[in-house]
Amino acid sequence: MTNQREHEGKVALVLGGSRGIGAAIVERLAADGAKVAFTYASSADQAAALAARVASSGGEAAAFRADSADVADVESAFDLTLERFGRLDIVVVNAGILRLGTIDQISIEDFDRIVAVNIRGVFAALRKAATVLGKGGRILTIGSNIVDRVGFPGAGLYAMTKAAVATLVKGAAIDLASRGITVNNIQPGPIATDMTKEHVDFILPNVPLGRMGQPQEIAGLTSYLARDEAAFATGASLTMDGGYSV
């Protein structure tokens, strides 16, 4: 983590922040000086432990339960953040789910659920963020490099949802540019999280750098894009995947 405090005085909301990449983003933004609210869907113990870690390091974090498939929950997370901290400067939309299955095997129920979380939930967050962020606000979505290279059977539906987010980010960036709000998308590749631990042996041969990425590396890029010095970047999808999609 950096010793600098680029986000001193700012408030961030990380949707889907209790574990993995989301937790790393929470800790990095807090280390960089922001007060951070974050949501969790079911991992209440992990959320409490994360808030405690931030506090023990001298930061401030608040955890709110929210199902990103529920628009009311998403909007409530924004309202609770404003009630707790009085302002909002940075929004990171990390919540997402993975459903794998070939086109003839994936169920309609799985289709509906992944679209609800990975597309509708992201849209709901961007729509709400647009109503509360002021000039200089930052919106960041966490997508996937699978947009550029599906890579294996059964990943098409997940890739579709992440491609939709990348396109939505472009449109939102144009819509909000006149207000000085930037919107960008980070596309991680194979990152060492609970979601990927069962697939490491399959993934590693396809990564030119020969290792899994770390959540802290995605968190570092997230923090950079939220800084003032990144104010000219908007509508971009930035891939960090160890060369997997090259």
d(C-alpha 86, C-alpha 84), whole Å: 6
Residue of 40, 158, 224, 244 marked catalytic: 158
Q: What does the pLDDT average to over 71-83?
A: 98
Percent of the chain with pLDDT over 90: 84
How do strand 182-188 and strand 237-240 relate by DSSP bridges? parallel
Q: What does the pLDDT average to over 155-163?
A: 93
Pick the closest to residue 90 from 139, 37, 135 (CA basis).
139
In contact, 29 and 36? CB cutoff 8 Å:
yes
- Supply the pTM of this predicted model: 0.94
Average pLDDT of every residue of the chain? 94
- Write down the pLDDT at residue 4: 61
Q: What is the pLDDT of residues 22-53, one digit of tens each?
A: 999 999 999 999 999 999 998 899 999 999 99
Known catalytic residue at 244: no
- Write down the pLDDT at residue 209: 95
Domains of the chain plus CATH, in order, are: 11-240 (3.40.50.720)
Residue 244 has pLDDT above 80, yes or no: yes
d(C-alpha 221, C-alpha 51), whole Å: 22
- Write down the pLDDT at residue 116: 96
